[in-house]
Amino acid sequence: MSAGATLSEKILARASGRESVRPGDIVDAKVDLAMSHEACTFVIKSFKEMGAKKIWDKDKIVIILDHWVPASDVKSASLHKTIRDFVNEQGIDNFLDVGRGGIAHQILAEDGWVLPGMLVVGSDSHTPTAGALGAFATGIGFTEMAAVFALGELWLKVPENLRVIMDGSMGPRMDGKDIILKVIGQLKVDGAIYKAIEFTGPTVDSIGISHRLTMCNMATEMGAKTGIISPDAKTEEYLAWTGKEYEAVRSDEDAVYQEERNFDITDLEPQVACPSNVDNVKGVSELKGVKVHQAFLGSCTNGRIEDLRAAAEILKGEKIHKDVRMIVMPASQKIYHQAMKEGLFDIFLESKATICAPSCGPCFGGHGGMLAAGEACISSTNRNFVARMGHPESFVYLASPWTVAASALYGEITDPRSV
Amino acid sequence: METTLSGRIWKFGDNVNTDDITPSPYLTITDPSELAKHVMENLNPEFAGGVQKGDIIVAGRNFGCGSSREHAPVALKAAGVSLVVARTFARIFYRNAINLGLPVLESQELIDLVEEGEEIQADIGKGEITLSSGKIIKTNPLPENVLGILEAGGLINKVRRILEAGE
Ligand code: SF4
């Protein structure tokens, strides 16, 4: 008998109508869900240039405005308008405008768009976030997305599989962010180019979906085509409210992996990615005394309710350091509402943090929290490239929500376990 | 399809990301020639003004990593770049470039053998690069479906043909 298949291979085989696929095969795959955000403006342009008239399936397309929400200037307002016009013209019901959604990757997970076993494409590089629910989710370009809008399929090269096996239990005030930063620090930013990273092992089994979403989100930072986790009881529980049916495909025991890497997170300290590459990762203890001027809590990486609760636990009854401004940007309207109901906003406001509407905001240097020359930000986001959050001479340190909040209190990078 | 091209080399290092190629402040620009004016401005401020039609970028590992913005290959193409050769590419950039009709070749060794400004020739169909010394470098040839897209002049033209044939 031939060897078993990985979850990724099973999904790609099903989507391309084949019995089985192997790494390196080039397949034409049918897409189960296509997501676009403001990039849709460019998708529309290509769609029209192709001479396409009608989208292939309006039930399989979701468009969510998230990068400049609410529109931050006339240009972004025009992008939004172009998209609204297209949505109306095509009769797309699955459109989440300002105030209805939040950051697309979060919405796909929390609103039940993504189910295990699906092939999901998005016109955004962090689409692999959805892999946390056992889908094969990958980012594609605008023109490719236009082809998907028109035809519902695209060519894919079946990726090699890299299995990351995690052992050890997560300590107090630790997050999926610390785990994934540790992995990126070791594998480096090109450690998984074109590959599907499958996260497995006792640690992964024991952590909740929120942490898993954070880990798959940052698989992108190693060049991976996707990050993926076989669905389990936690996935089932997370999706129970949707009432939707799906087949929970898992990797076979005898599946073949091109490479395996083992990590033990026992005694791991909080991790921080230093400027200006995501793989420049250090333990928090090495960064004592590094001053920060801004603390940002938000994004598709760590803007979930669990992340806000973590920060609130640190900030409760305390005041943020006088030289720091802290920005809290929940990843969706639902999270925003939930945080308000739980009283987290009282804690943030009393500690002098400012709370902004769900958006990508400063994460990509868009709006709402840019940095001036010489300033540093401790951020719960996923990229710290030069000029990512403002001036080319500003600095971004990536860390967990716990570390972001603790650092905001002291005005310098701080171990949240010491607070 | 015209598969040979020649041009002067601009060299870049490892991990050139799409924020480097097209910085975020310009992401709302839709006109390619406007984008081209700012291409690579944080990495090499001379590039946008100095690049000529046909020029070739030779880079290190993981070229085009980071955000999936298609602005990056659009800006390079609009600036006149005819080919990018890197040790490796980030996958979304690689796909975007091909879909836009901007050829990309992977070569581990080229960057160590050429100088900035050197004139080289490339045959994309065969995956061969000829240096100014006459030395020929072999690269991984592009898969057939990828050549098909380049041959059609990009994915837009290819899909247009499919849609027209289906009507
Ligand atoms: S929050 Fe940041 S990383 Fe996530 S989709 Fe928005 S810009 Fe991209």
Write the pLDDT tens digit of every residue in A96-147. Answer: 999 999 999 999 999 999 999 999 999 999 999 999 999 999 999 889 999 9
Among candidates A151, A157, A190 on the partner chain, residue whose Cβ is nearest the Cβ of B62: A190
Averaged pLDDT for residues B113-132 = 94
Mean pLDDT rounded to a whole number for chain A: 96
Does B163 lie at the interface with A, CB-CB under 8 angstroms? yes
Contacts of B61 in chain A (CB under 8 A): 190
pLDDT beyond 80 at B141: no
Question: Within a 10 A sphere around the Cβ of A225, how many other Cβ atoms?
Answer: 27
Q: Is A218 in the pocket of ligand 1 (CB under 6 A)?
A: no
What was the ipTM of the complex prediction?
0.86
B109-113 CB contacts, 8 Å cutoff, 24+ apart: B109/B137, B110/B58, B110/B85, B110/B137, B110/B139, B111/B11, B111/B58, B111/B59, B111/B60, B111/B85, B111/B86, B111/B87, B113/B137
Q: What is the pLDDT of residue A402?
A: 98
pLDDT beyond 90 at B153: no
Contacts of B145 in chain A (CB under 8 A): 26, 155
Question: What are B55-103's pLDDT values in tens digits?
Answer: 999 999 999 998 878 899 999 999 999 999 999 999 889 989 999 999 9
CA of A414 to the centre of ligand 1 (A): 25
Q: What is the pLDDT of residue B1?
A: 56
Averaged pLDDT for residues B102-112 = 94
Share of chain A above pLDDT 90, in %: 96
Which among B66, B89, B29, B78 is positioned nearest to A387, based on CA atoms? B66
Contacts of B42 in chain A (CB under 8 A): 386-387, 392
Q: What is the pLDDT of residue A256?
A: 93
pLDDT band at B142 (very low <50, low <70, confident <90, very high): confident
Out of A263-267, A371-375, A394-398, B136-140, least confident range: B136-140
Q: Is A299 in the pocket of ligand 1 (CB under 6 A)?
A: yes
Mean pLDDT rounded to a whole number for chain B: 91
Q: Which two tokens stand for residue A104?
A: 């697309």
Q: What is the pLDDT of residue A26?
A: 83
A279: closest chain B residue by CA:
B15
Among candidates B23, B61, B70 on the partner chain, residue whose Cβ is nearest the Cβ of A142: B70
pLDDT band at A1 (very low <50, low <70, confident <90, very high): very low
Q: What is the pLDDT of residue B91?
A: 86
The answer to whether the CB of A65 falls within 8 A of the CB of A35 is no
Q: Is A106 in the pocket of ligand 1 (CB under 6 A)?
A: no
Q: Is A363 in the pocket of ligand 1 (CB under 6 A)?
A: yes
